[in-house]
Amino acid sequence: MATIMETVRRPQVRQTQCFIGGKWTSSASGKTFETVNPATEEVICEVAEGDKEDVDAAVDAARDAFEAGPWAKMDARDRGILMNKLADLIAEEADELAALETLDNGKPISDARAADIPLVIDCLRYYAGWADKIEGRTIPVRGEYFTYTRREPVGVVGQIIPWNFPALMVAWKWGPALAAGCTIVMKPAEQTPLTCLRMARLAQKAGIPDGVINVIPGYGPTAGDAVVRHPGIDKVAFTGELATAKIIQRNAAETMKRLTFELGGKSPNVIFADADLDSAIEGAHFGLYFNQGQCCCAGSRLFVEERVHDEVIDRLREKNAERRVGDPFDPETQQGPQVDEAQFDKVLQYCEYGKQDGAKMISGGKRVGNRGFFVEPTLFTGVTDTMRIAREEIFGPVLSVLKFKNVDEIIRRSNDTNFGLAAAVWTRDIAKAHRYAAAVRAGTVWINCYDVFDAGAPFGGFKQSGLGRELGEAGLANYTELKTVTVSMS
Ligand code: NAI
Ligand code: MG
């Protein structure tokens, strides 16, 4: 048992360089950066620190593969076959990839194995099926003309992803891009580059032609910014912080790039008194604390109807006390460390704001241990709509509970935010549930469940939670351009 644990604990890091045109290379500057294990604060390895010159080379390779290489001539169905092959190779290495994810990100190994990696495989297979099903239409126009549309790949796409689901974000981005026939320059998050690099190696092994997928590890304001400004990139897909998205939107304006954004949230999770309280409480706990609270759609504003408020609080407190926080490689662990020191500091800062603003801290609020970025599951009650912990994205294990009395009130308060990513409602009254679902301004609504994702179900934000959708057919559409062809029939 001990030796099994040791091999799991030390997954091999094989890829640490830039991946450009099918070759592994140091960065042009020769610089590297450290990636850290957030559970121990130890450096895992050095990774090539890409910048503008590396992005330029990656765009050249991607452009060439898009216009001239085998990718450009390949039948769509064969693209799908290669994508399925990549999914197969990931499935073969699932345990090792899960361990690498846990090492780099700190998430519990049980989550990486049960959620992240299986979802990666499922997403790639889902989009593999789309590759040969992207169809145009014929359109009845006036006169002696025949008009039809074609859906063509948007071109070379830049993809900038965050650290909370490092491998899964790769799949969400590569899946629709590859199915559509695009080529890719990806910049993984500086905190978590390792699984992305491993997946690039597996893509090559699967036979995806050189230049189709390029990966430039590095920082946002350097490598990321070079992707955003590059005139040879047609579209940028970004997941991360709203403030970063606004910078990207400005910097991409010069080249009129197509942009899609998947940003943060302050998602309302509403428990009515007539709900099945066992599942509602489980959903409230899981909907916030899952992934150390580092989810864009975390149910971070928990609204509880007055009548059941105190009972819900008591039971949430008990669940927090039972939550196993610690070594993410222990299969029993439910909560690992925050991803890095900056996130750790941010979370503890919000715990202070909560107290300063007059909320009552029922549990948590402190560091766990003295090594690694662990934070106790934290619960605040007596939260009001104007407090910082009710308005701003914390991205950590901090749950704010607010009281409410009726449906009209809760619709209004749910929508009193600039975000609009997700919402959930727990009730046995189906009319009330659907009324809420229709009225809430959010891209995803869960009724009597939370965090239920499927590769076929579109996901994305209303308002400042994003632009465009990922997953499903909607996610694919964002990787295509629509062309109209008209033929004279006379
Ligand atoms: P971030 O938005 O700065 O980073 C996400 C990605 O964008 C990374 O790959 C980063 O290198 C890149 N990036 C940063 N600045 C850039 C620029 N000027 N041009 C191009 N690319 C750039 O997020 P960060 O700093 O890691 O986390 C800060 C907060 O953002 C978190 O506390 C959380 O509230 C939120 N966040 C939301 C996520 C979501 O899934 N919606 C994911 C990660 C963070
Ligand atoms: Mg940032």
Point out the catalytic residue in the list 49, 93, 190, 262.
262
Per-residue confidence (pLDDT) for residue 3, from 0 to 100:
54
pLDDT digits over 102-126, tens only? 999 999 999 999 999 999 999 999 9
Ligand 1 site residues (CB inside 6 A) read 160-164, 187, 189-190, 219-221, 224-225, 228, 239-241, 244, 247-248, 263-264, 296, 343, 346, 393, 395
Among 266, 351, 272, which residue's Cα sits nearest to residue 312? 272
Q: Which residues contact 452 (CB under 8 A, 6 or more apart)?
A: 446
**Which whole number is the average pLDDT over 234-241?**
98
Which ligand has the nearest atom to the CA of 220? 1
Per-residue confidence (pLDDT) for residue 10, from 0 to 100:
83
Which ligand has the nearest atom to the CA of 225? 1
pLDDT band at 7 (very low <50, low <70, confident <90, very high): low
Cβ burial, residue 147 (10 Å; 0-12/13-18/19+): middle
| Number of other CB atoms surrounding residue 84 within 10 Å | 18
**Which whole number is the average pLDDT over 409-429?**
98
| Number of other CB atoms surrounding residue 73 within 10 Å | 8
Among 277, 283, 232, 238, which residue's Cα sits nearest to residue 63? 232
**Which whole number is the average pLDDT over 357-373?**
97
**Which two structure tokens, joined as six digits, stand for 159?**
């993809």
In the residue annotation, 262 being an active-site residue is answered as yes
Residue 5 pLDDT > 70: no
Amino acid at 222: T
Rounded to the nearest 5°, which phi and psi values hold at 127? -75, -25
Point out the catalytic residue in the list 296, 297, 351, 393.
296
pLDDT digits over 65-90, tens only? 999 989 999 999 999 999 999 999 99
Per-residue confidence (pLDDT) for residue 4, from 0 to 100:
55
Mean pLDDT of the chain: 97
Compute the distance between CA of residue 293 and CA of residue 401 in angstroms, rounded to an integer. 15
**Residue keyed to tokens 């009972």:** 311
Distance 290 CA to ligand 2 centre (A): 22
Distance 312 CA to ligand 1 centre (A): 33
**Which whole number is the average pLDDT over 294-318?**
98
Residue nearest atom 7 of ligand 1, based on CA coordinates:
220
**Could you tell me the pTM of the whole model?**
0.98
Which ligand has the nearest atom to the CA of 259? 1
Task: Give the side-chain half-sphere CA count within 13 A for 330.
Answer: 11
Q: Which residues contact 487 (CB under 8 A, 6 or more apart)?
A: 145, 146, 147
Per-residue confidence (pLDDT) for residue 9, from 0 to 100:
78
CB 48 within 8 A of CB 18: yes
Cβ burial, residue 380 (10 Å; 0-12/13-18/19+): buried
pLDDT band at 416 (very low <50, low <70, confident <90, very high): very high
Among 442, 418, 169, 403, which residue's Cα sits nearest to residue 291? 169
With a pLDDT cut of 90, the percent of the chain lying above it is 98
* Ligand 1 pocket, mutate which of 228, 239, 241 (most atoms under 8 A from CB): 241
Per-residue confidence (pLDDT) for residue 446, from 0 to 100:
98
Residue nearest atom 18 of ligand 1, based on CA coordinates:
221
**Residue keyed to tokens 């609080």:** 313
Residue nearest atom 30 of ligand 1, based on CA coordinates:
241
Distance 65 CA to ligand 1 centre (A): 29
CB 181 within 8 A of CB 209: no
In the residue annotation, 473 being an active-site residue is answered as no
Atom of ligand 1 nearest to the CA of 163: 43
**Which whole number is the average pLDDT over 273-280?**
98
Which ligand has the nearest atom to the CA of 245? 1
Compute the distance between CA of residue 419 and CA of residue 332 in angstroms, rounded to an integer. 34
Residue nearest atom 16 of ligand 1, based on CA coordinates:
220
Residue nearest atom 22 of ligand 1, based on CA coordinates:
220
Write b or e for each residue in 167-184: b if 16 or more Cβ atoms lie within 10 A of its Cβ, otherwise e.
bbbbbbbbbbbbbbbbbb
Residue nearest atom 10 of ligand 1, based on CA coordinates:
220
Amino acid at 5: M
Atom of ligand 1 nearest to the CA of 421: 41
